[in-house]
Structure formats: structure tokens, C-alpha cells
Structure 1
Amino acid sequence: MSGPSASAMRDYLELVRAPAVLTVLGDTLAGGAAAGHPVGGRRLALPLASACLYAGGMALNDYADRGIDAVERPERPVPSGRISPERALGAAAALTVLGLGLSAVGGGRRSLAVGAPLAAAIWSYDLAAKRHPVPAALTMGVCRALDVLMGTGTADLRSALPAAAAMGGHTVAVTALSRGEVNGTDTTTAAGAAATTALVSASVLAGAPRSWRGALPVLAAVGVYAARCAPAQVEAARDPAARNALEATKRGIRAMVPLQAALAFRHGSTAAGLAVAAVDVLGKVLRARSARGTNREMSES
């Protein structure tokens, strides 16, 4: 691959927040586990549908925020001039269409019937809702809940509602915290996020299988989830500075993966739980490689 092509690819991967895409792959697996769907076959297209819809939302986010980012985050692909606003919008549209197509492939019309309002919610968030704190958090929570429900399809929605509520509730808390990444958050918001983590953890454990063999994976995954995000949330409540809000947001996003695994294990799907756990390991490896690359560039500069 030539230098310019490789550079353009890196720019687009940065635009769609490629590493963060891993955090949505387990949504439909958790939803499918709640409905008793096996892992495999055409249903493997559903996590890819989630990834495309998420990536499209990230591209649309940078298109919509290009004015603000020019001041607050000028290094991003759009305000830096590496990707034009028109190309960012085109990428958002193409990824959304691809995501909807994959939802139809993986779950037929029943999953597409959930994917369509999910796509609408994503675009509504980026173009309007995120400008207002409460609608922004609620809309993001709805997006994550619908992503879980896309894994069940309209015929099995009721069975996956608790899993969707857990993921949606966690997302609301993380989104509220994320608004303080630049100027700081407040103690109430950060404490509310910590309380949400405790509530979500308790709700997942309450539905765990009664046998030790079934309960242990759930307990382990919930433990990883809470340990990953709760300390940073508590620290942000103690000191609501921007750096702490940013760290709590990052950890809250990464904590979604073990939460998805816990939900899959809770519903008895070992295959789905292990698949999500593998995604978590992959995310750690990629972050470590990225950190090494950044450190090497800094030492050579």
C-alpha cells in the first residue's frame, strides 16, 4: 500500500474511532443470548451491523461538530483538513446504509425493523439531541438499548428488555459524564454514574443462574465491569476536573464490553460470553500497541 493511501486509511480509521467500535460488537450477542439465539451462521452479520452503524455515527459526529472541534479539538481529521466535511458526511451515510443492510442479512426483517429506528436515533443524536444535556444522554441510552434489541429482532423483544435496559442505563451515565471532558463535570453527575454502575451490577447479578457453574462467569464479568469503571467515576465525583471526567468516560466506554459478556453469560450463552471476552482482550492488545507506537513517535521526534 502506498504512503498516501495508508495515510488516508489512518485518517478514516481515526474519524470513525476504530478502536471504540469494538465496544458495540457484543450488544447483539447479548441480545441474541437473551432470546436464546445461537452464535453463528447469518447472525454473525449483526455485530458487523452494529459496528457499521456506530462508525457511521462517529463520522457524522465529526461532521456535525466541525465548528466546535476547530476550537476544542483541531487535531481531528475534519478540522485539521485531512478529511473534508463532505467526505465525512458521505462516509456516515455509506456506513449507515451498510449497517442496515447487514442487519437485514443477519436477522431478516425483524432485526431491520429495530435497526432502522436505531439509525434514526443515531442521526438524531448527532444532528440535534447532543446539543442539550438531558436529551443527549437519553438518546444515547436509547441507541445502545436498540442495538441490544437488534440482536433479538421484533419477535423476541421482551426477553431482551432487561439486557437492553442495563446497557442503556450505563450508556446514559457515561454520556452525561462525557460532557465534562473539556471543561469538567460536577460531583452529582459523577456520583450518579458510580451509583448507576452499582445498580447495573446488582441487576445483572440478581438474574444470574443459581448454580455455581452458571453464576461464576457472570460474577467474574460483573466484577471486571465494576472494577474497570467505578474507581474512575468515584475519583471524578471527588474531583470533577476535566481530566477525571475524561478518564471516567474512557473507562466507562471500555467497561461496556465486560458488561455485555456478563449479560450473555447470565442468559446461559457461554459461546457469546466467551466471544465478547475475546473482543475485550483484543481491545487491550490494540490499545497497548497504539500506546507503544505513540511513545516511539514521541521518542523519535
Structure 2
Amino acid sequence: MSSVAQPGWMLAWWQLLRAANVFTAASNVLAGFLIVQRSFEPAGALAALVASSACLYLAGMVLNDFFDAEIDAAERPERPIPSGRIPRGVAGLVGWSLLAIGVLLALAISYQQANIAPGLIGVLLAIAVVQYDGGLKKTRFGPYAMGWCRVLNVLLGASVAIDLSHRVVPFAYAVAIGAYTVGLTYVARSEMVGNFARSLHIRNVVTRLLQGFIVIDAIAATLAAGWIAGLAVLCLLIPTLIIARWAAMT
């Protein structure tokens, strides 16, 4: 393939980051936040929580390919690292840096709010991301590890509540999102099984299920804070659908 036909470096990074997916992480945080706050206030804390979640999620995407570079070289050579469009060392540096920034943002919210929960959950989420990418995803516990990441992501949004440990609804919702994630992950695991057409079909199903996070979170936001809040969350589908047209979500 000629150098002209090769995707540009910017597209390679979008593909490595699986950029469309990050809006599903943001919607989880927004739903968790709205469930406990019933509004978008305090806006500063909400923005920092969304940024923390986004950094941790993107770190997970990059580190996933960083750890899987050798496997992808054999099974998915078109991916940014094995194709040589992004050096593995650079990807690792970006991934670990994003992880650190995500944790620091969560810790900053804890300091600013005098509340241990955001920092604690941020640290636990970072650990869960590394454990999943570093090996758990290849075991039978992989889907549950991924589900645990989503549980923590929802709780990161809810962490601004001073009395979070006494709230049933955010924990119940987080567990429900975790269960949805477990099912999604089992479906995604079957993508590489069978013929090419079947794999394409499963990839399309997984993409729709990923986008489904935003719809579910929008419903939760509507029930918690009204239709305007729900519509605001649902609007995250717009950039998700646009970016997914040229950078796959799986």
C-alpha cells in the first residue's frame, strides 16, 4: 500500500483512542451525577469528573492496544500500533499519562470538595483499568472486570454526594450498568469467532450496544432531573455517531 493510501497520523490516533466511545463514559458520569444532585450543579465539579472519566477511559483504550501489540500484529495488523503508524512506546507514554491525569483530576475534586469519595473511586477505577488491560480481559473474569470498570465510572459521577454510602439508587444504577456491560462484553468476545461476515455483524451489534449506554443514561437523567437533563445527555449521541463513521468503536 502506498504512503498516499495510508491513513494519516491523526486518524491513527482517533482509531487508537476509539474516540467515539469516550462519550459513553461521559454519559455514565452525567447519569451518576444527576441521580444524586438532580441538577448540573456544582458545574465545576461535574466538568472535572467528566474530564477525569474521559482521561481514564481513553487511557484504557490506549493501554489495551499497548498490552496487545503482539497479538494484534497477528490478528489485527491494521491497528495503529502493529501497522507502525503509532510507535508502541509512544502509545504507552500517552496511555500512562492519561491514566495519571485522570487520577489527579479525581484527587483534585476530593481536595476541593473535602470529600474522599471522588479520589478513592478514581484510584480504584485506574487500578481496574490496568488490571483489565494487563491480563484479566483474557480470562473468564474479563467481562466482570469490564463491568466493574463501568460500575466505578457511574459512581465517579455520583461521588460528589457527601452521603453517597447511604444512597441506594446510585449504587443500584451502577450495578445495572455493570450488568449491561458484562453482557455486552460477552457479545464482543464472539466477534473473532466464526466467519468474516458473522464477525462484521457482531461488530455492528457491539457498536449499537455501546451507543446504548448513552440512551440508557439519558433515560436515567430524565427520571432524576427532568427532560432537559435527559436531552442534554442524549445529545452525546451526536458526536458519537459522527466519529464512529470513520473511527470504529470496537
TM-score, normalisation: structure 1: 0.71
| Residue 85 to residue 286, structure 1, CA distance change in 2 (3 Å) | closer
Shift of 1:12: 2.1
User: Distance in 2 between the 1:43 and 1:90 partners?
Assistant: 27
Q: Which has the higher contact order (CA 8 A, sep 6+)?
A: 2
Answer yes or no: is 1:137 the counterpart of 2:94. Answer: no
Q: Counterpart in 1 of 2:215?
A: 258
Q: Counterpart in 2 of 1:110?
A: 117
Q: Answer whether contact 1:184 1:243 (CA < 8 A) is retained.
A: no
User: Distance in 2 between the 1:99 and 1:144 partners?
Assistant: 15
Q: Counterpart in 2 of 1:98?
A: 101
User: Distance in 1 between the 2:56 and 2:83 partners?
Assistant: 24
Unaligned runs of 5+ residues in structure 2 are 1-6
Work out the percentage of aligned pairs sharing the same amino acid. 33
Answer yes or no: is 1:274 the counterpart of 2:231. Answer: yes
Cα deviations by residue, 1:47-66 (Å, 9 ceiling, x for unpaired): 12111111000110001111
Cα deviations by residue, 1:96-122 (Å, 9 ceiling, x for unpaired): 111112223445432111111111001
| Residue 102 to residue 11, structure 1, CA distance change in 2 (3 Å) | same
Answer yes or no: is 1:249 the counterpart of 2:206. Answer: yes
Q: Per residue, is there more helix in 1 or in 2?
A: 1
Q: Counterpart in 1 of 2:3?
A: none
Answer yes or no: is 1:151 the counterpart of 2:157. Answer: yes
| Residue 249 to residue 162, structure 1, CA distance change in 2 (3 Å) | same
Q: Counterpart in 2 of 1:160?
A: 170
Give SS of 1:69's match: helix
Answer yes or no: is 1:285 the counterpart of 2:242. Answer: yes
User: Distance in 1 between the 2:228 and 2:76 partners?
Assistant: 40
Q: Answer whether contact 1:110 1:155 (CA < 8 A) is retained.
A: no
**Which structure has the larger Rg over C-alpha atoms?**
1
Q: Answer whether contact 1:57 1:92 (CA < 8 A) is retained.
A: yes
Give SS of 1:81's match: coil
One-letter code aligned to 1:66: A
Q: Answer whether contact 1:22 1:283 (CA < 8 A) is retained.
A: yes
The partner residue of 1:87 within 85, 90, 113 is 90
User: Distance in 2 between the 1:122 and 1:65 partners?
Assistant: 14
User: Distance in 1 between the 2:155 and 2:138 partners?
Assistant: 26
Give SS of 2:192's match: coil
Shift of 1:270: 4.0
Q: Answer whether contact 1:27 1:47 (CA < 8 A) is retained.
A: no
Shift of 1:271: 4.6
Give SS of 1:75's match: coil
Cα deviations by residue, 1:181-206 (Å, 9 ceiling, x for unpaired): 11149xxxxxxxxxxxxxxxxxxxxx
Shift of 1:68: 1.1
Shift of 1:37: 5.2
| Residue 171 to residue 184, structure 1, CA distance change in 2 (3 Å) | farther
Answer yes or no: is 1:175 the counterpart of 2:185. Answer: yes
Cα deviations by residue, 1:227-252 (Å, 9 ceiling, x for unpaired): xxxxxxxxxxxxx9323322221111
Cα deviations by residue, 1:118-154 (Å, 9 ceiling, x for unpaired): 110010000010111x310000000001000011117
TM-score, normalisation: structure 2: 0.84
The partner residue of 1:42 within 11, 26, 45 is 45
User: Distance in 2 between the 1:59 and 1:48 partners?
Assistant: 16
Q: Answer whether contact 2:144 2:182 (CA < 8 A) is retained.
A: yes
Give SS of 2:225's match: coil
Runs of 4+ residues over 6 Å off in structure 1: none
Give SS of 1:139's match: helix
How many residues in Structure 1 have an aligned counterpart in Structure 2? 231
- Tell me whether 253-262 or 42-51 shows the greater mean CA deviation: 42-51
